[in-house]
Structure 1
Amino acid sequence: MRTQKGLTFDDVLLVPKRSPVRSRNDVDTSTQLTSRIRLHIPVLSANMDTVTEARMAIAMAQAGGIGVIHRFMTTRQQVEEVQKVKRSRGFVVEHPRAIAPDACVEEAARLMRRYDVGGLVVLDERRHLLGLITERDVLLAPDATARVDEVMTPAERLITAPPEITPAEAQTLLYRHRLEKLPLLDGEGRLAGLITGQDLIKSRQNPQASVDEKGRLRVGAAIGVGEEELARAEALLAAGTDVLVLDIAHGHADHCIDMLQELRRAFPQAQIIAGNVATFEGAKDLAAAGANAVKVGIGPGSICTTRIVTGFGVPQLTAIMDCVEGVRASGRAVPVIADGGIKTSGDMVKALAAGAAAVMIGGLFAGCEEAPGSPVIRDGQKFKVVRGMASLGAAISRRQAEREGDESAESQADWDKVVPEGVEAVVPYRGHVREVLHQLVGGLRSGMSYGGAFTIPELQENAEFIEITAAGVRESHSHDVQRV
C-alpha cells in the first residue's frame, strides 16, 4: 500500500510569466472539445437535471460553448430537448413543423405553442407545399374550428427559392420582399427546407456561436450504460446530437468500457465523451476503448458526497494532471474535460493550465435563469434548487423516467437499495448564464495574459504551479477590510 499527496485548486497558484500579450482581447479562448468539434470558449454546462435542458443548451451554444442535455427523462423527451436546440437556429430548417390543410386553426395554434414556432408549412401527402400559416393568421382567424387552408397564405402567393440558395441571396430576398419565412422547393414543388429571417439575424448577432456544418447550434446529450441506452443513443444521434456523453459515477468500470466499445462499433462516426475517471489508468483505458474525450472528476462537485460516502476520489487538480498523462500513454490525442470543483474563473484557469481542454460546470450555472426550475424566495432573496445526480431526489426522478409510467416496476425493496452520494441544495439566483460566462471568460482572458499565453495550449506549456499554505489561501482573498 502506498500514499501520495493530492492537490486541488485552492492548494496552488500559477506563477506569473513574462507576457507578450498587450490586451486580454488579443487572446484566443477556443479549444478542441473533440477532434471534430471546436468551441470558442472552453466551457460545457453539466448534464444535471437542475442545470441543462434545451434553454440552457441554446444559451451555451450561442455564447460559444456547449450544453449537455441530462438523461433523467424518457428517450422521447430527451430527443425533443435536442430538437429544440437544433431548431432554434440554422441557415436552413430541413424539416420545418408542418400541418395538413384539413386540420383546424386550433390545432395549428396548439402545435405552434408546443414547438415554440411562429408558423407552420402546410403540406399534402407527397410533401408538396400548399401554403403557410402564421401566428398572425391564427389570431385573425374568425373561428378556431376553421380549416387551415381557409386562413393560410396559399403557395401561389408565397415567395420561394431553390435549395441551392446562398445565405447572401436569401437575405436579399427576405429584405426585398419584407419576408419572415422563405420556403425552399425542389424541381417538383416539394418542400426541401425553410429559411427564416430570425435565424439569419441570430447568425449575425452571435458570430462566435458553436454551430454545426448546417449552421445549427451544437448540443450534447448524456447516456448511461443500461441495456436500453444503445437505442437512446441511436435516437439522439438521429435527432442531430453532436456529441454523446457516456456518463456514470465511476467510469473506470468494465460495464462502462464495454458500453463505450459497443457504441463505437454501432456508431463509428459518433463523437463520444466518456467518464468520469480520476486516474492515469482510468483515462488511458477510456481513451484506448475509443473515447473522443475523457471526462475527469470523482467527487469534486459542490453537491457531490461520493468521497464522504465511499472514501474514494482524487483531488481535482491532481486528477486532471494524472488523466492528461493517461490519455497520452494511450497513444491517442484525446482531450480531457475537467468536470466539477470550478468555483471561480481562477479555478477554470488552473484546470486548463493543468492540461484540461475544457471545463464542465454545474453549480455555478444552476442558479441561472436558463437552468430548469423556477426561482424560490427565501428571506427576500432569490435562489434556485440544485441537486447532485446521485442524490435521493435524482434517484427518484431516474426511476420514474425508467418506468415511464409503469408503477409495477417499483417496489420498496428498490428504494431500500438507494444510498445517496449527493445532496439537494439551493444556490443564489445569478441572472442569465451569459452574464456568468462573461465573468468566467473574462477571468480566463486575464489569466492567459498573466501566463504569457495567446492560446490555451500556450497557457499549458508555460504553466508553473506553486503549492501554497493556508495562509497563502487567506492572503489570496480580500482581507483586513469590511466589504461594502
Structure 2
Amino acid sequence: MSNEIEIGRGKRGRRAYSFDDVAVVPSRRTRDPQDVSVGWQIDAYYVDIPVLAAPMDSVMSPATAILLGKLGGIGVLDLEGLWTRYEDPEPLFEEIATLEGAEVTRRMQEIYSAPIVPELITQRLHEVRAAGVTVAGKLSPQSTQQHWRTVVEAGVDLFVIRGTTVSAEHVSSTAEPLNLKRFIYELDVPVVVGGAGTYTAALHLMRTGAAGVLVGFGGGAAHTTRTSLGIHTPMATAVADVAAARRDYLDESGGRYVHVIADGGVGRSGDLVKAVAVGADAVMLGSSLARAQEAPGRGWHWGSEAHHPQLPRGERVRVGTVGSLEQILHGPSDTPDGTVNLIGALRRAMATTGYSDLKEFQRVEVVVSPYTPNNNR
C-alpha cells in the first residue's frame, strides 16, 4: 500500500510523520514500573539507560560526560568543539551566553576558527577515562581522516562519526572521501555513524560495519536546516524506516544487529517514548540535557551548524534551566511538561502498556494522532 500523495501533476511525495504525529496505545496488560528494564547493550558495553548525550558544546564537557556516565548513560564529547581548541574554554562559554542580536553568529564563527589541538583531544578523553565511565568521542566525516588516530590512541571506547548527513558513498572531485567501510574495518573500536534519514542510506551505513546508526537530519532544536537547505526528516517515519533496514540487514548478514539511535526531535519524555516505540534502541539527547544546571551552555543550546564558516544552518537558542542532570534523567519532577524525569516517564509508559524491556516495547501498537493543544490529554 502506497501512502504517496500528489503534490502537483509532476510530483508525488510520500507522507511522513514526526513524533508529534503518533501516539502509543495501551494493551491489555500493565505492570509495575520497577519491573521494567531500560538497559541496552552496544558492542561490549552495557548501558543502564537508552541515552547518549549529543556531542554539542552546549551539552557536553568532560565533567558532564563523566556525570552522565555515572547516571547510566553515555556522554559523547565533541572533539571539534571548544574543549579541544582551548585549554580553558570557560570564559568563551560565558561570552557566548551573553552575545546578542546579529553578533551571535559572527562571533561564534570567530571563536570556533581556532585550530583543533590534538593534545587537547587526548587530554579530554583521558579525563573521562580516569573517571571509570564509557569514553565516547565524536568527529565529523571531514575531520575523521585527520584526527582519528589521536582519538583511538587516547583510548576511546565508542567512536562517533556524526554529521548533518553521512553517506557510505560520498562523491568528491576535489578530495579523497572517507571510505567508511575500510575505515571501520581497520578500527578496533565500535563506530556509531550518522545521520541517516532513509531506509536505503541506513542500509548502506550498516553494510560498512557500523555498530550503530544515528537517525536524523536537521531535526534538532538548534538546527535551521529545513529553512536554510529545505531538507527535513520527520523523525517517526525516519526511525521506523531505519528500523526496517536493521531488520533486513539482520537477515542479510546472518544475524548481525546494528543499533538504531534517534538523533533529533527528542525534546521531551514523550518523544523518547515514541522514538523507542517506532524502533529506536536508544536516543541521542541535545536540548533535553542542555537544560541541566551542569550543562556548559548556561541555558543556551547550539550545535556545530551554528558556527559553520560558510553556511550556518543552526542557531544559539534559549532552552533555560529546569533542574540538575540527575533530575532531568531520573527525577523527581516538579513539572508536568515532560522536561524532567525522562527515564521515569519511559518506565511508566512501558509499564502502562505492559512491556518489560526495550526490545519488547518496540512492538507496541502506535496510531497516527497528530498533536494539537486540544487532544493532549
TM range (shorter): 0.7 to 0.9
Aligned partner of residue 227 in structure 2, secondary structure:
helix
Query: 1:305 aligns to what?
Result: 224
Contact map agreement 1:243 1:272 (CA 8 A) in 2: yes
- 2:58 counterpart (41, 50, 64): 50
- Cα displacement (A) at 1:422: 0.7
- Cα deviation for residue 313 of structure 1 reads 2.1
In the alignment, structure 1 residue 77 sits paired with structure 2 residue 86: no
Partner Cα distance (1:20, 1:424) in 2: 42
Quick check: 1:61 aligned with 2:69? yes
Match of 2:322 among 418, 430, 439: 430
Aligned partners of 2:185 and 2:209 also within 8 Å: no
Partner of 2:305, secondary structure, is coil
Q: Equivalences for 1:25-424 in 2 at 5 Å?
A: 25-32=34-41, 34-72=42-80, 73=84, 74=116, 75-88=118-131, 216-226=132-142, 229-252=144-167, 254-255=169-170, 258-267=178-187, 269-330=188-249, 331=252, 332-373=256-297, 375=298, 384-392=299-307, 395=308, 415=309, 418-424=310-316
Answer whether contact 1:55 1:371 (CA < 8 A) is retained.
Answer: no
Query: What amino acid is the match of 1:31?
Result: W
Question: Paired residue for 1:467?
Answer: 368
Does the aligned pair in 1 maintain the 2:30–2:353 contact within 8 Å? no
Q: How big is the shift at 1:65?
A: 0.6
* Contact preservation (8 Å) 1:59, 1:370: no
Point out the structure with max Rg over C-alpha. 1
Distance across 1 between alignment mates of 2:268 and 2:184: 35
Give the structure 2 partner of residue 175 of structure 1: none
1:307 Cα deviation from its structure 2 partner? 1.5
Distance 1:245 1:328 in 2: 22
Q: Which residue of 1 aligns with 2:360?
A: 458
Checking the alignment, whether the CA contact within 8 Å between 2:291 and 2:322 is kept in structure 1 is yes
The whole-number CA distance in structure 2 between the counterparts of 1:349 and 1:390 is 27
Q: Distance in 1 between matches of 2:275 and 2:122?
A: 32
1:266 is displaced (CA, Å) by 2.8
Counterpart residue type for residue 186 of structure 2: A
- Aligned-partner Cα distance in 2 for 1:36–1:87: 19
* 2:22–2:236 contact (8 Å) kept in structure 1: no
Contact 1:260 1:274 in 2 (8 A): no
> Structure 1: any 5+ residue segments left out of the alignment?
89-215, 376-383, 396-414, 478-484
Equivalent residue pairs, number: 312
Q: CA deviation at 1:427?
A: 1.6
- The answer for the alignment partner of 1:164 in structure 2 is none
Counting aligned pairs with the same residue, the percent is: 31
The residue identity in structure 1 corresponding to 2:34 is N
CA drift at 1:20: 4.6
Specify whether residues 242 and 433 from structure 1 end up closer, same or farther in structure 2 by C-alpha distance, changes over 3 A only: same
Structure 2: which amino acid aligns with 1:254?
E
* TM-score, L = length of structure 1: 0.62
Distance 1:466 1:325 in 2: 18
- Is the 2:211–2:259 Cα contact (8 Å) retained in structure 1? yes
Q: Is the contact made by 1:284 and 1:328 (CA closer than 8 Å) also made in structure 2?
A: no
TM-score (norm 2): 0.78
Task: Name the structure 2 match of 1:11.
Answer: 21
